[in-house]
Amino acid sequence: MKFYEEKDYDALSQRAANIIAAQIVTKPDCVLGLATGSSPVGTYKRLIEKYENGDLDFSQVKTANLDEYKGLTRDNDQSYYYFMHENLFDHVNICPENTNIPDGTKEDSETECAHYEEVIASLGGVDLQLLGLGHNGHIGFNEPACDFPQATHCVDLQESTIEANKRFFASADDVPRQAYTMGIGTIMRAKKILLVVSGEDKADIVAKAFFGPVTPEVPASILQFHPDVTIVGDKAAFSKIPH
Ligand SMILES: N[C@@H]1[C@@H](O)[C@H](O)[C@@H](COP(=O)(O)O)O[C@@H]1O
């Protein structure tokens, strides 16, 4: 695992955007696995700047997002579909037909999740997967569990996740209780993984996930077994790891 400790959120966002830009430049038709949450917002901003400066071309890039709330329509401003358009897709020359996000409006979880796995396979797999990190060690919406889920599936969100995400909704009652997420197996099949993390509130989970035992109780800990993982964090998020 490669760790980049940056001085603050801006610097970590720049570093992460540079890594993604290098992927796009070296393989213009690459498949990017994308993430939501507050952590990657700065990274997306920097990517948009690079596009506006003429340094990046998204015309052949394909994307597959990690997850989506079940039950939210695409025009709901808390859906991850909406988030991705707002924070990246609407600002770069990506082709809408090249972007993929699980469809949270599909009631039949099994069919939608199997379909999403087929979509990723038809793209030839993910070249670079961007990840954030939940306070309980979740990646995508893979919550702590007694095993590592292999494929895209429907999850019941944990109370702590609902608590953490309620800041975006009118109240905790409005946070959906379920989501579709790539499985740990889906994430681990990506050729490269880039995880961005910031803030003191993530320091404990960073230490636990990447320097503690590999266990499905801390889903991100599995990344210790991936051959090509880069973790970009700020000083605060890295403050509890052995230096
Ligand atoms: N499903 C998302 C994750 O993909 C994200 O990485 C995580 C951390 O979010 P944040 O970056 O806002 O702390 O929480 C959400 O629940």
- DSSP state string for 133-189: --TTS-BTTB-S-SS---S-EEEEPPHHHHHHHGGGSSSGGGS-SEEEE--HHHHHT
Of the candidates 210, 211, 201, the one whose C-alpha atom is nearest the C-alpha of residue 236 is 201
Per-residue pLDDT, averaged over 21-27, amounts to: 98
Q: Averaged over 68-97, what is the pLDDT?
A: 96
Q: Does 37 sit in the ligand 1 pocket, CB within 6 Å?
A: yes
Would you state the pLDDT for residue 160?
Answer: 86
Q: Report the separation in Å between the CA atom of 39 and the middle of ligand 1, taken as the mean of its atom positions.
A: 7
Q: How confident is the model at residue 108 (pLDDT cuts 50, 70, 90)?
A: very high
pLDDT band at 168 (very low <50, low <70, confident <90, very high): confident
Whether the CB of 66 sits within 6 Å of ligand 1: yes
Percent of all residues in the chain with a pLDDT value above 70, rounded to a whole number: 100
CA-202 nearest atom, ligand 1: 13
Inform me whether the pLDDT recorded for 164 exceeds 90. no
Q: What number of H helices and E strands is found in the chain? A: 7, 10
What pLDDT digit, counting tens, does each position of 33-61 carry?
999 999 999 999 999 999 999 999 999 99
With a 6 Å cutoff on the Cβ, whether 38 touches ligand 1 is yes
Domain ranges of the chain: 2-234
Q: 16: how many CB neighbours lie within 10 A of its CB?
A: 27
Four-residue CA torsion sign, 97, 62, 223, 9? negative
197 Cβ closer than 6 Å to some ligand 1 atom = no
Give the pLDDT confidence of 122-147 residue by residue, as tens digits: 999 999 999 999 999 999 999 999 99
- Active site annotation includes 67: yes
- Residue 65 near ligand 1, beta carbon < 6 Å: no
CATH class of 2-234: alpha beta
> Which among 98, 136, 142, 165 is annotated as catalytic?
136
For residues 219-229, average pLDDT? 98
Whether residue 243 has pLDDT greater than 90: no
| Closest ligand 1 atom to Cα of 161 | 16
- The verdict on whether 142 is a catalytic residue reads no
pTM over 0.90: yes
Phi-psi region of 137 (alpha: psi -120 to 50; beta: other; left: phi over 0): left
